[in-house]
Amino acid sequence: MVTQQYNEDSIKSLDWKEHIRLRPGMYIGKMGNGSSPDDGIYILLKEVIDNSIDEYVMGNGKTIEVNVKNNKISVRDYGRGIPLGKVIDCVSKINTGAKYDSKVFKKSVGLNGVGTKAANALSSFFKIQSIREGKSKLVEFERGAIINDEPIIENSSRRGTKVSFIPDQELFGKYRFIDEYVEKMMWNYCYLNPGLTILFNGNKYYSENGLLDLLEKRTDSEILYPIIHLKSEDIEVAITHCKNQYSEQYYSFVNGQHTVQGGTHQGAFRQSLVKTIREYYGKNYDASDIRQAINAAISIKVIEPVFESQTKTKLGSTEMDPGGVTILTFIQDFLKRNLDNFLHKNLDIAEIIERKIKTAEHERKAMAGVKKLARERAKKASLHNKKLRDCRIHYNDLNKEERSNSTLFITEGDSASGSITKTRDIRTQAVFSLRGKPLNSFELTKKIVYENEEFNLLQAALNIEEGIDNLRYNKVVIATDADVDGMHIRMLLLTFFLQFFPEIVKEGHIYILETPLYRVRSKKETIYCYSEDERKNAISKLGKTAEVTRFKGLGEISPNEFKNFIGKDMRLEPVILSSQDKISDVLQYYMGKNTKERQDFIINNLRVEQDLIEEMF
């Protein structure tokens, strides 16, 4: 038996950059290739911009310039600039920064002095220049190591800080920035900092009315009454209810950080809203009826906030400041005072809200029997059929580093679902098998979700009946064939999600699985190709004698091969709603009566059809 020696040589010390590169998940969450909005490359961008935002909050610099081109990022602000003698320390020494001085950065976005150090260590190239008091200092790094340390020189440019970097492909693999994700980030910064101008790739982003503008831009359905906008020193909220919407939709922020997973402040807001409404009307309305179809945004400022991860997506703090008033009490007092006053002054809006609550109450009671029967069917089905091949561990039970891997594949047909089932990671990947084409749910009421077996079982599998707070999988992947029928099924599923659970799309949980169209192989090598260009390149590399196989459907791909396409190199295309898109307009265009336009869309977006046309000519 070989025993492992444990002595002084077993103890190793890593310097700051080595530790970040060895354990990047501790600093930026998951790595990812850019297909998800919480992938590491976006966290690096955010960490650098956060420093510029903190400057703006302190009254220094009203414009931030951001450029992302060919995976190179540059951020330029017009704040005070880093003190020139501390430029290197601020981007290469952990626990170094100005944010520890609470008098300077009392309620800043970040407090641990890690952000720019992580960007530096995880980038193949990183350059920083500080300009202040007529002088400047420029330093360049490669994977955290200094490669160019220029002396302080005279510089008459406007003061501020310039940062440029390229996330390291050795760590992140083949990645890409998706403009829509970056654009959403820029808008959030502007909504939370009215008066700030951000120039992203030359386009101007600006908000004058804060969360009021956010809710106006992000609300898809027709609103029932003008948005209620309330502000105080450390809190801002915007509230409205919508027509033809069943779910609750919240946008929550802490110290300028978008807490996409909510947290104590969002929970406190939901609870406080119900309490305030009940007290105003003097009736014990059910909480679900009060909040049905609500769209709301809340932003609070907390001293020394505690988040549940380094990426700050969920607030864990219960107090506004250490030893101070609780967040729940703070929000309750604010809504009791301000929302109650607003409703007393705007009786017409108060009447609309009460009508909406009573309508929701009537619908809930009418649906009670249908829901009970649907739950019983779903429970019985989950025991006796094979529609859902579940995984062993779900999103909320995984550790923070593994949560991004929690996946449900929605497939068509037994052969495709069988191949995925045999090769998946049974620990974190589940499979839901469709039986034929789903129902077109466009303009149907939510009653159909419970009456239609396919929808009812899918809803139960995802655990989204009461919203996506308890969503069982981080990624919901639509895995259909790349043909006309497959594209139609995709659209029917997206219609279902957008019609009844739009937040699951808005929060970036829906993806399309990309699978290869061709396999090109020689005796020595096999290359899987996802497009006609890739096929041609593969033949050029392997020679004209290479065997070319065309996959016409997922069922033709053997289980042994499928493991190549749903593992760590899985290609996913995120389903993203443009900031200009309204869900009602999207559904009307693709699922309404404009059959010709829908047919053109399907054909024009089919890789298989395009390739066949090319081959014919």
What angle is formed at CA 49 by the lines to CA 47 and CA 54, rounded to 5 degrees?
Answer: 100
User: Which tokens sit at 460?
Assistant: 């139960």
| Non-local CB neighbours of 195 within 8 Å, separated by 6+ positions | 62, 208
Tell whether 531 is covered by a domain.
no
Scan for tokens 């949560």, then name that residue.
403
Tell me if 239 is assigned to some domain.
Answer: yes
- Domain finish residue from 189, 206, 223: 206
pLDDT score at 617: 26
189, 217: one domain: no
List the CATH number of the domain containing 497: 3.40.50.670
Angle at 387 between CA 394 and CA 431, to 5 degrees: 45
Chain mean pLDDT for the chain:
85
Give the range of the structural domain holding residue 399, as residue numbers without chain letter.
Answer: 385-515+551-616
Q: What's the confidence (pLDDT) of residue 45? A: 95
411, two tokens? 């497939």
Same domain, 143 and 290: no
Residues 33 and 141 in one domain: yes
- Its pTM stands at 0.85
* 249 and 293 part of one domain: yes
**283 has pLDDT over 50:** yes
- The answer to whether residues 359 and 426 belong to one domain is no
- Asked if residue 196 and residue 253 are part of one domain, the reply reads no
DSSP strand pairing (294-300 vs 249-254): parallel
Report, as an integer, the average pLDDT of 444-457.
87
Is residue 524 domain-resident? no
19-33, 283-297, 426-440, 590-604, range with greatest mean pLDDT: 283-297
Residues 96, 147 contacting (CB under 8 angstroms): no
Instruction: Indicate whether 192 and 135 sit together in one domain.
Output: yes
Distance (Å, rounded) from C-alpha 421 to C-alpha 403? 20
10 Å Cβ neighbour count for 469? Answer: 16
Residue 23 within any structural domain of the chain: yes
* The domain boundary residue, chosen from 307, 329, 364: 364
* Mean pLDDT confidence for 100-126: 70
Element (H, E) at 403: none
Token pair for 56:
């703006």
- Where a domain ends, among 206, 232, 253? 206
Q: How far apart are CA 386 and CA 432, in angstroms?
A: 8
pLDDT of res. 448: 87
pLDDT at 215 over 70: yes
Are 453 and 326 within one domain?
no
Report how far Cα 97 is from the mean position of its chain's Cα atoms: 28
Any domain includes 470: yes
Q: Using an 8 Å Cβ cutoff, are 51 and 27 in contact?
A: no
pLDDT tens-digit series, residues 355-395:
999 999 998 888 888 878 777 777 766 655 668 899 998 88
The three-class DSSP label of residue 43 is: helix
Is there a domain that residue 45 lies in? Answer: yes
Residue 83 lies in a domain: yes
Percent of the chain at pLDDT above 90?
Answer: 47
**DSSP-H helix ranges across 395-483:** 414-423, 447-451, 453-462
Number of domains in the chain: 3
Is residue 592 located within the same domain as residue 453?
A: yes
Identity at 524, one-letter amino acid code? K
My answer on whether 236 and 188 are in the same domain is no
**Is 130 found in the same domain as 236?**
no
Structural domain includes residue 520: no
- What is the length of the chain? 617
Claim to verify: residue 23 and residue 171 sit in the same structural domain: yes
Can you tell me the distance from the alpha carbon of 571 to that of 482, in angstroms, rounded to the nearest whole number? 14
